[in-house]
Amino acid sequence: MKILVTGGAGYIGSHTVLLLLTNGFEVVVLDNLMNASIESIRRVEHLTGKKVSFIKGDIQDKTALTSLFNEHAIDAVIHFAALKAVGESSTIPLEYYQNNVHGTLCLLEVMANLNINHFIFSSSATVYGGENAVPYEESMPLGEASSPYGASKVMIERVLKDLAQSNLDFRAVCLRYFNPIGAHESGQIGEDPKGIPNNLLPYVAQVAVGKRERLQVFGDDYSTQDGTCERDYLHVMDLAEGHVAAVNWLQKNSEFTGVEAFNLGTGKAVSVLSIIKAFEQASQQKVPYTIAPRRHGDLPAFWANAEKANKQLGWRATRDLTQMMTDTWRWQSNNPEGYPK
């Protein structure tokens, strides 16, 4: 099977491409490199001993997409390409809707023209909004997204549903990720944020390696066990395995039509202070921090009910918090400046 991976040079994309290759899939990557380095693809090729067909291009470029699909007989598309910084999305909402929503529409339109009907979408726990009770289950209604980024994911899920109703051959999976962290166990590929990291783990790792002075913990007065926010952190290689499971599920269940959503998480919630402690233990480095005010839009705690993915996809997260921390540290200490610029 040949898979097109949009955004395949990015953090989750590169780990998924690696796993697809080791599972015998052929992979074509389309990425405009706006938030990635081609070095991630080179390293994936080196680690697997396999070749990736890489195309530098934008999902909004329908001409480039059409020639890509004409050149490669693509069986399924895994769609990672998106802008993803929650805070930034409130500052430049139009860019987010343009890139994420319009970009996905372009991709779906070209796929429809060429009768390519298998689609796996990078959705997010953020689609549940703040209204649903935890743990989140797929049967819950989608919530009121708290940012343009979140809204772009909700909109795309709706587009997929409508598209599937209009075309019974169209088959899609929405994978709702919780908080992916960690890196491939080789320490060769990992998360390489541009500028100041927005997410917790890259920030913690950069403090530990001496790139940043101290972490700000956003709020310690939440109604959680230690007062800091709790999230469902999962290892990026477990997440990558979830994508392989979804591709296999689509292929196996040929009678399925429509859109199916799956949570990908561990089912456990971990606090910010527990993350700091676990990282210090794994890295044997100090992570100085101060308590700062709450970050606007943060929910106190959410985690997944991941039973549906287990039952239907046969998927479960198997890597524990220690491994998430050890692998993050291996990547960060081997590559203190990220990929060579």
- Interface with ligand NAD (CB under 6 A): 6-7, 9-13, 30-36, 58-60, 80-82, 84, 99, 103, 122, 124, 177, 179-180
Q: What is the largest CA-CA distance in the chain?
A: 56
Where does this chain bind ligand UDP (CB under 6 A)? 86, 179, 198-200, 203, 215-218, 229, 231, 272, 295, 298
CB of 224 to ligand UDP, least distance (A): 10
User: Closer to ligand NAD at the Cβ: 117 or 179?
Assistant: 179
CA distance 209 to 159: 42
DSSP conformation class of 37: -
Which of the choices ligand UDP, ligand NAD, none does residue 222 contact, using the CB cut-off of 5 to 8 A by kind?
Answer: none
Which of the choices ligand NAD, ligand UDP, none does residue 13 contact, using the CB cut-off of 5 to 8 A by kind?
Answer: ligand NAD
Which of the choices ligand NAD, ligand UDP, none does residue 229 contact, using the CB cut-off of 5 to 8 A by kind?
Answer: ligand UDP
Out of 149, 203, 233, 339, pick the active-site residue. 149
User: Closer to ligand NAD at the Cβ: 80 or 291?
Assistant: 80
Q: What is the DSSP string of 72-91?
A: S--SEEEE--S---HHHHHH
CB of 34 to ligand NAD, least distance (A): 4
Which of the choices ligand UDP, ligand NAD, none does residue 306 contact, using the CB cut-off of 5 to 8 A by kind?
Answer: none
The position carrying tokens 């703040």 is 130
User: Closer to ligand NAD at the Cβ: 190 or 219?
Assistant: 190
Q: Check: CB of residue 279 under 8 Å from CB of residue 208.
A: yes
The position carrying tokens 């070749």 is 51
User: Is 96 designated active site?
Assistant: no
CA distance 11 to 41: 11
CB of 255 to ligand NAD, least distance (A): 28
CB of 48 to ligand NAD, least distance (A): 18
Dihedral sign for Cα atoms in the order 278, 283, 289, 292: negative
Instruction: Name 11's Cβ contacts closer than 8 Å, sequence gap at least 6.
Output: 36, 180, 190, 191, 192, 236
How long is the chain? 341
DSSP conformation class of 304: B
Which of the choices ligand UDP, ligand NAD, none does residue 7 contact, using the CB cut-off of 5 to 8 A by kind?
Answer: ligand NAD
User: Closer to ligand UDP at the Cβ: 171 or 231?
Assistant: 231
The CB density around residue 340, as the number of other CB atoms within 10 Å, is: 7
CA distance 290 to 42: 38
- Is the preceding omega at residue 135 within 30 degrees of 0, hence cis? yes
CA distance 290 to 288: 7
Burial state string for 310-327 with b = 16 or more CB within 10 A and e = fewer than 16: beebebbbebebebbbbb
* Closest residue to bound ligand NAD by CB: 10
CB of 284 to ligand NAD, least distance (A): 26
Which of the choices ligand NAD, ligand UDP, none does residue 216 contact, using the CB cut-off of 5 to 8 A by kind?
Answer: ligand UDP
User: Closer to ligand UDP at the Cβ: 91 or 253?
Assistant: 91
The CB density around residue 123, as the number of other CB atoms within 10 Å, is: 23
User: Closer to ligand NAD at the Cβ: 4 or 278?
Assistant: 4
CB of 110 to ligand UDP, least distance (A): 31
Active site residues: 149
